[in-house]
Amino acid sequence: MATFVLIHGGGGSAWDWHLLVPELARRGHDVVVPELPIGDSSAGFAEFRETVLAAIGGRTDLVVVGHSYGGFTAPLIADRLPLRLIVLLTPMIPEPGERPRDWWGNTGYRGAEGLSEVQQFYNGVPAEIVAEAAGHSRDQTSAEGDEPWPLDAWPDVPTKVLIGREDRFFPPDFQRRVAADRLGVTPDEIDGGHSVALSHPGPLADRLTAYLPMLGFAA
């Protein structure tokens, strides 16, 4: 049994994973879903990491999944606990010393033109789930946006990048380039858009658990 630690993205919450959690549980795995203190103007990377560590407690066999902006937080856990795997899901991939606010320009990101936020973030998500989403989003007023990312190098932990083939917020070509430039890897791909945990929770659970045999235990 693995313990999946699911870290939400910017402006998000634990609700973002509510369809994936039971899928992973049905496959026999433990799941931890921390709620980052993004509404605390004094909270930075240190507080984000401590929130995740507190949620993990004494669990082991950790697979940390960082969605989107959660890619800045996921690797920080490896500085304090042994991880079996890091999975970056439709992610922002940081570099040492990079401030999150600078990531957009540093990567050459160009936003989609003529698309609403719903069209960018929730394409492929059932309408009833999209209707619920607004009630679970949060303002990101925390302090880490101006903080240099604190690791000196990417952790010595197996890392997978998993992108959505229909992602309109971080298009696949952009994600492939950033993953190659920053981690030297070719991403794996899955059907779905930026919010694949809401649009394709079952297939996503299958993809995540398919990584487990390479770690030495059953999927």
CATH ID of 3-211, from 3.30.750.24, 3.20.20.70, 3.40.640.10, 3.40.50.1820: 3.40.50.1820
Edge-first strand order for the sheet with 30-32 is 30-32, 3-7, 62-67, 83-89, 159-164, 188-190
- Domain ranges (residues) in the chain: 3-211
The answer on pLDDT for 6 being more than 80 is yes
**What confidence tens digit (pLDDT) does each residue in 89-122 have?**
999 999 999 999 999 999 999 988 899 999 999 9
Average pLDDT over the chain reads 96
The answer on pLDDT for 73 being more than 90 is yes
Average pLDDT over residues 181-204: 98
Task: Determine the Cα–Cα distance for residues 177 and 2; give it in Å rounded to an integer.
Answer: 30
Average pLDDT over residues 35-48: 97
**By C-alpha distance, which of 134, 170, 159 is closest to 16?**
134
- Quickly state the pLDDT bin for 42 (edges 50, 70, 90): very high
- Quickly state the pLDDT bin for 215 (edges 50, 70, 90): confident
